[in-house]
Structure 1
């Protein structure tokens, strides 16, 4: 290990690994409401997952998704904007990838515009659901700030209309849905804010969505499109959605 924080990150990784093993062995013992939520989430039709968590829960729920760990791996790759998991703060299976220290966060913020630019297609074509994050989370503010900096004036409004925040609220017996505004720098960003005591209804709605084409076919066509683009043969490109 090369970095001075490696022993610290190794210990974090070991801790998460041990906790993950305990959780995987006790899933059958979870309360019924939680087990039902996990069951429905596994069936959800979603284009991609962007997470700041270090554990492998998302990979376990969506084993067929492609996984990108950290900013560098994503920036150096060619994401297809569907059925992919982006672990932007690293993964416990790669200790040095963890964004855990002040220096790590400084490097992350410096590279963040490149990361967002890489994901911009997915951001512009699909609703973005921020699940479990606070409206005041500095990581979310940083991502939104970078998104806005990459957009033209014509694209900002359509992008803002796709933002949905879903927050867990213990004492809420029904869905609370409000259109609110959050301020990032000089931008007043309208978002749909949902507060709920359970995520089951949301996961069921996502699970009810159907794809137009089988995943294998979409992947094949996207890969062919990428190869054609690399060769510069634009006239033969076929768009698949």
Structure 2
């Protein structure tokens, strides 16, 4: 069914995280119809649009905590122009600077429309085989080792799945922390999801991960099956 663009709307549009085929028909329609596409990196977004044969203008937004970078954009939205907001890859606002733009637009009464699509978080959850209720998403762990330890320690007190992203060059420091705070927890690692060298690797516990780590290249998502009943020997299927 065709989607009619609404004037003065901000469309928050998910883009592929690796496989171009994951772009949705609705996203393509929005990209063609809006007046402007707001993005993290103009270079990355223009490259995506070029492959999709779309010529809509793009504007890179600043990662600024103030309202000023968005004033011109908000004025244009208030005047009836429509825009799409995208990240370099995946669902905007999950682990990127788009949340500030969305908050500012909402405060100004701008209509905000989600256009869902690819997400590394939901991609890994969908193939985990674990009961996903509850799931705690930590986003990217802290850059600072001491704060990262506190984040993982707090997460180890939770009962459920724990999911987070981690930068590839920080993996050697991460693995011993997982062994310390989640010694008996199942680990599912998603590497380069939807891309050519995609891997989804299961480890019975972090010790196995330490002994046989995945190739330290690409984008990583970690899922820890820290459901307390499972750790005590009860299967997921016993829970209603």
* Structure that is richer in helix per residue: 1
| TM-score relative to the length of structure 2 | 0.28
* Structure that is richer in strand per residue: 2
**Which structure would you say has the larger Rg?**
2
| TM-score relative to the length of structure 1 | 0.28
